[in-house]
């Protein structure tokens, strides 16, 4: 049998797949913005969801407002979730692809039994797990067969660190949610996966590094170097690299992958 080699341009078209309606949460900055800009290079219709409407509006203007639609979204508010999805579907029709990227990380040390500490723990779980689940539910309700769902999790879905019980618990739970949804949605040919990045060069990561530095009495540079030393590849991941992983999972090349947590951690996790 003769091997057929596609020209590079044809191969790229194959990997892109057909144009789809993509909804991205947490789309105003960081990984979400990188995903929007990368997928915006292809003829998809993109709905951007986040609390920072003005930042999303700037992204939409860059990508073209005729095919990029920003909507306010707060995962801690079920009414906001419902309204965002209804508005997006009215604009572009049923959502073919959900990239569930939005999340928060607040300090939740185990010895903080104050009302404020407990509220922070609840807030992290409400946004990262409960709100994300309700968002997926709302999207799946009208998602066509053959759709794709990609959750952006964390390397902390595979390990634990001190002072972040809420965040770690939410990401572990999200991985379980991915597995359950993959099984439940398989009859509709909907693929459900999760990308687990390590240290990504985003505002959230730098805020976390700053908190660790303050708690340890080290400089930010010392703390960053220490965190990077725990990886085989000693650098931060670029948001564009995570976006590339998302694009792969949405392409025909990702069709055989579902129910998985795919690590993108510079070798921070080896199992």
Residue 235 has pLDDT above 60, yes or no: yes
Say if 40 falls within a structural domain.
yes
Span 240-245, mean pLDDT?
A: 96
**Do residues 219 and 250 both lie within one domain?**
no
pLDDT score for 203: 85
Partners of 188 in beta bridges = none
**Do residues 114 and 232 both lie within one domain?**
no
Residue 15 has pLDDT above 80, yes or no: no
**Do residues 212 and 250 both lie within one domain?**
no
Contacts of 81 (CB under 8 A, 6+ apart): 73, 74, 75, 131, 134, 135, 138
What total number of domains does the chain contain?
2
pLDDT score for 271: 55
Higher per-residue confidence, 165 vs 214: 165
pLDDT band at 266 (very low <50, low <70, confident <90, very high): confident
Please write the tens of the pLDDT for every residue from 153-164.
999 999 998 899
Contacts made by residues 104-110, CB under 8 angstroms, sequence distance 24+: 104/128, 104/204, 105/164, 105/167, 105/204, 105/207, 105/208, 106/166, 106/167, 107/163, 107/164, 107/211, 108/163, 108/164, 108/165, 108/166, 108/167, 109/162, 109/163, 109/165, 110/162, 110/165
Say if 8 falls within a structural domain.
no
**Do residues 40 and 139 both lie within one domain?**
yes
Please write the tens of the pLDDT for every residue from 116-150.
999 999 999 999 999 999 999 999 999 999 999 99
pLDDT band at 17 (very low <50, low <70, confident <90, very high): low
**Residue 202: what are its φ and ψ, rounded to 5°?**
-130, 170
pLDDT score for 19: 85
**Do residues 232 and 242 both lie within one domain?**
no
The pLDDT mean for the chain works out to 91
Please write the tens of the pLDDT for every residue from 35-80.
999 999 999 999 999 999 999 999 999 999 999 999 999 999 999 9
Say if 10 falls within a structural domain.
no
pLDDT score for 213: 85
pLDDT band at 7 (very low <50, low <70, confident <90, very high): low
Say if 143 falls within a structural domain.
yes
Closest CA to 145 of 189, 89, 98, 191: 189
**Do residues 221 and 110 both lie within one domain?**
no
Rg of the Cα atoms in the chain: 19
| CA distances (Å), origin 267, targets 51, 85, 242 | 33, 36, 15
């Amino acid at each position: 049998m003769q091997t057929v080699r596609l020209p590079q341009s044809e191969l790229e078209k194959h990997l892109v797949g057909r144009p789809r309606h993509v909804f991205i949460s947490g789309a105003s900055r960081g990984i979400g913005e990188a995903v929007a800009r990368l997928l915006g290079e292809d003829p998809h219709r993109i709905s951007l969801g986040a609390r920072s409407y003005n930042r999303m509006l700037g992204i939409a203007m860059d990508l073209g407002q005729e095919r990029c639609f920003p909507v306010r979204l707060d995962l801690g508010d079920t009414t906001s979730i419902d309204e965002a999805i209804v508005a997006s579907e009215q604009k572009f029709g049923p959502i073919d692809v959900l990239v569930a990227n939005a999340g928060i990380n607040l300090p939740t040390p185990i010895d903080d039994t104050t009302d404020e500490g407990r509220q922070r723990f609840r807030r992290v779980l409400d946004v990262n797990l409960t709100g994300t689940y309700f968002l997926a539910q709302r999207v799946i309700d009208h998602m066509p067969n053959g759709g794709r769902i990609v959750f952006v999790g964390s390397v902390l879905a595979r390990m634990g660190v001190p002072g972040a019980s809420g965040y770690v618990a939410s990401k572990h739970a999200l991985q379980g949610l991915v597995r359950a949804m993959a099984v439940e949605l398989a009859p509709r040919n909907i693929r459900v996966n999760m990308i687990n990045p390590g240290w990504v060069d985003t505002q959230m990561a730098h805020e976390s590094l700053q908190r660790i530095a303050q708690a340890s009495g080290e400089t930010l540079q010392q703390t960053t170097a220490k965190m990077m030393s725990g990886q085989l590849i000693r650098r931060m991941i670029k948001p564009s690299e995570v976006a590339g992983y998302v694009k792969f999972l949405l392409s025909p090349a990702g069709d055989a992958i579902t129910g998985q947590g795919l690590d993108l951690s510079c070798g921070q996790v080896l199992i």
